[in-house]
Amino acid sequence: MVVMFAAGFFFRGVLDFPAVVVSASSDSTGYPLLNEVQNLLDQHYLRQQPDLTARQYAAIRGVLSVLNDRYTFLIDPPVAQSESDVLAGAYGGIGVQIQRSETGEIILYPFADGPAFASGVREGDILKVVNDTTIELSIQQDAVDQMLRGEVKDGNGVEITAIHPDSNETYTVFIPFAVINVPSVIGRVLSEAPNLGYIQIQRFTSRTPEELTAIIEKLQQDNRLEGLILDLRNNSGGLLVESIAVAGQFLDGGLVVAYERNNSGEKPINAENGGQEIHLPLAVLINQGTASAAELVAGAIRDHQRGILIGQATYGKGTVQQIFRLSDESSLHVTSAEWLTPNRRQLDGEGLQPDYPIIPDPNGRDIELGEAIHILLKQISDPQS
């Protein structure tokens, strides 16, 4: 199921499937050849046939395959049931976000209510060792992230060695695993540029607008704030209504966020209110993992000349899927619309090109963030540049 979400889906609700559950039809006139084939199989096939459900699923998938639309598909009941768990973002771990600095170090950002924070890990700490493994530049960031996760049961956890950078104190601590509810929005003032705020949106869930509002209010308490970096890298999408609300936080109210084009025509979708952050210089980080709802937000920000895009070309998914729960608890994803940016730029199959293209560092250094800091600081010091 995680693979499915990597493509980035839009939803019309909080994974609350449409109210009407689709019942199996008793009308067999729709596919007479299919019925004819089944009758012949019943009469003549030598071996035992798969059960009725398996045959129906195969027939449905065959019908869907001729649509040549990879986002319209059927998923089995167990996978359908797990969809809400995917967007819930819960896992076993120590409760930290990690990020590789420009110098290649792994920096820890603990969640306030997680076991890492309770064990003394503080924002900005430098991770040096996990269990007996020294964290070298050759170890990929996602591999380090997996080292800090595990099954939640008595005695399970991980021992880390890290450094408090402000005091240069090295410490070693065992941290037990717990169920971590991952926030969809993370924000902080950048230590390397204390006048810049950094906001990362990892996915668009039902909580995202509320979390974003809280992060912005927290950042605004720092009177030194002169610019913002919005990180949408590897954000594969999520809930549509919530992504519109997020875009509205960075746009002056009433502006078009996107155009919806479906089989009934085309209509504009507007930002409802003037956002909290409509004045500060803004840079948006994107990459190939930026898809769907995240592309919609990035496209709206750029088309309204509200901010610049830095990084790599985005994924290119501009279609909307509705999810219908079927009578046996399987579900059908159906492409029902596509989205255009405010300048009617097509996203599907095209994606967004960055204003400042960056070739990713092969060692995982965050040079995109470094470039965003450089550009924003230059804009702040010389607004005419």
pTM, two decimals, is 0.71
Give mean pLDDT, residues 190-208: 92
The answer on 369 and 342 residing in a single domain is: yes
Long-range pairs, 215-219, Cβ under 8 A, ≥24? 215/185, 215/186, 215/187, 216/187, 216/249, 216/276, 216/277, 217/276, 218/187, 219/187, 219/188, 219/189
Task: List pLDDT tens digits, range 289-344.
Answer: 999 999 999 999 999 999 999 999 999 999 988 888 899 888 899 999 999 999 99
Instruction: Please state at what angle helix 240-249 crosses helix 208-220, rounded to 10 degrees.
Output: 20
In total, how many domains does the chain have?
3
Instruction: With respect to residue 330, please indicate whether it lies within any of the assigned structural domains.
Output: yes
pLDDT level of residue 89 (50, 70, 90 thresholds): low
Report the C-alpha gap between 247 and 385 in whole angstroms: 25
Report the C-alpha gap between 112 and 187 in whole angstroms: 12
Supply the range of the domain harboring residue 64. 31-68
Domain boundary among 181, 215, 243: 181
| Tokens at 125, concatenated | 């700490």
Instruction: With respect to residue 4, please indicate whether it lies within any of the assigned structural domains.
Output: no
Instruction: With respect to residue 24, please indicate whether it lies within any of the assigned structural domains.
Output: no
Q: State residue 12's pLDDT score.
A: 36
Query: What CATH number should be reported for the domain holding residue 113?
Result: 2.30.42.10
User: Would the pLDDT of 352 be above 90?
Assistant: yes
Q: State residue 21's pLDDT score.
A: 39
